[in-house]
């Protein structure tokens, strides 16, 4: 008897022992016990309402800020497919699927001559993940432009939230972990007093100059403590260039951990722990991870 005999018939992809390393920005990590990529919203609702007992559900986005440990993730991993990668624009409002990349939305905003979303070109992930962590850069956060969003609970109930319903903060949203974001609506600004494409290109230039964009990484490893920059603390603690196996603290931006091509997930996590410990010893400040570590380690 196949494990799939316990699951509902779906139109999307249902796969056992699915490789997640190829999907991760770090390029490392173990498999998903079961991977589900729904064909559309109806497929996702049907699946979640009929998940067999005993199978935990984990939703992942672009995996731009997720480190999957080498033992992989037990239960079901859900990745949203092409149906969730659509953008519609009407009267200055963007209706955006959760699997749309932040950069793609920034590009559509340029084409639509609507401002306020330029900063999204500096965010590597998808809309759903960016909302969940209230991602931001260059003085803006994704919640600044949010109107409302749609989400589905892990028991298959669809719900809608206005931005005022959620307690957004610095790199946090208060969105419950049992919700999978599926769509969001954002307001663009009309008649801004700057050239939208020029501002976007300036953000791209800054990002390229100051971040190791040509290396495998998951962006900022640690959140900025109140009143300080994480990279300054890491530099002050002498961690720039520090290594564990194939993982290294970037010389270009020391709040980035990079995979030199030979790192394991355990190398990356161990290096992060080592950096945080050293920063606390030297500065007395405890850094909080921005990268999310999931799954089982392999000893």
- The CATH classification number of 214-280 equals 3.90.78.10
The fold of the 84-187 domain, in CATH, is 3.30.465
Whether 64 sits among the annotated catalytic residues: the reply is no
Report d(CA 72, CA 295) in Å as an integer: 5
- Identical fold for domains 10-79 and 214-280, yes or no, is no
Residue among 198, 132, 139, 207 nearest 171 (CA): 132
Report d(CA 105, CA 126) in Å as an integer: 9
Domain ranges of the chain: 10-79, 84-187, 214-280
User: From the candidates 6, 103, 171, 240, which is the catalytic residue?
Assistant: 171
User: From the candidates 101, 220, 250, 269, which is the catalytic residue?
Assistant: 220
* pLDDT, one tens digit for every residue, the chain (299 residues): 567 778 889 999 999 999 999 999 999 999 999 999 999 999 999 999 999 988 999 999 999 999 999 999 999 999 999 999 999 999 999 999 999 999 999 999 999 999 999 999 999 899 999 999 999 988 899 999 999 999 999 999 999 999 999 999 999 998 998 999 999 999 999 999 999 999 999 999 999 999 999 999 999 999 999 999 999 999 999 999 999 999 999 999 999 999 999 999 999 999 999 999 999 999 999 999 999 999 998 86
Whether 171 sits among the annotated catalytic residues: the reply is yes
Whether 266 sits among the annotated catalytic residues: the reply is no
Report d(CA 130, CA 288) in Å as an integer: 18
CATH architecture of 10-79: 2-Layer Sandwich (3.30)
Cβ–Cβ < 8 Å for 38, 46: no
User: From the candidates 118, 266, 269, 290, which is the catalytic residue?
Assistant: 290
Residue keyed to tokens 């993940």: 129
* Total-model pTM: 0.93
């Amino acid at each position: 008897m196949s494990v799939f005999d316990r699951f509902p018939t779906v139109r999307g992809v249902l796969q056992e022992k699915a490789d997640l390393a190829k999907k991760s920005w770090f390029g490392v990590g173990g498999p998903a016990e079961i991977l589900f990529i729904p064909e559309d919203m109806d497929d996702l609702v049907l699946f979640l309402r009929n998940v067999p007992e005993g199978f935990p559900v984990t939703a992942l986005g672009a995996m731009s800020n997720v480190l999957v440990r080498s033992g992989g993730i037990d239960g079901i991993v859900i990745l949203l497919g092409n149906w969730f990668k659509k953008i519609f624009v009407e009267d200055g409002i963007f209706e955006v699927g959760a699997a749309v990349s932040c950069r793609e939305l920034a590009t559509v905003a340029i084409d639509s001559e609507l401002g306020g979303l330029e900063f999204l070109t500096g965010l590597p992930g998808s809309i759903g993940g960016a909302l969940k962590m209230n991602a931001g850069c260059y003085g803006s956060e994704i919640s600044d432009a949010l109107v409302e969003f749609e989400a589905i609970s892990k028991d298959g109930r669809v719900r809608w939230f206005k931005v005022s319903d959620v307690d957004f903060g610095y790199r946090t949203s208060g969105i419950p972990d049992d919700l999978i974001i599926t769509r969001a609506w954002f307001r663009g600004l009309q008649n801004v007093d700057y050239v939208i494409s020029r501002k976007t290109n300036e953000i791209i230039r800054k990002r390229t100059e100051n971040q190791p964009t040509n290396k495998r990484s998951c962006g900022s490893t640690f959140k900025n403590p109140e009143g300080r920059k994480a990279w300054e603390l890491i530099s002050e603690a002498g961690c720039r260039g520090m290594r564990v196996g194939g993982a290294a603290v970037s010389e270009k931006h020391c709040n980035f951990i990079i995979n030199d091509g030979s790192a394991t997930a355990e190398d990356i996590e161990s290096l992060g722990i080592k950096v945080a410990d050293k920063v606390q010893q030297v500065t007395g400040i405890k850094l909080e991870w921005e990268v999310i570590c999931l799954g089982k380690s392999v000893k």
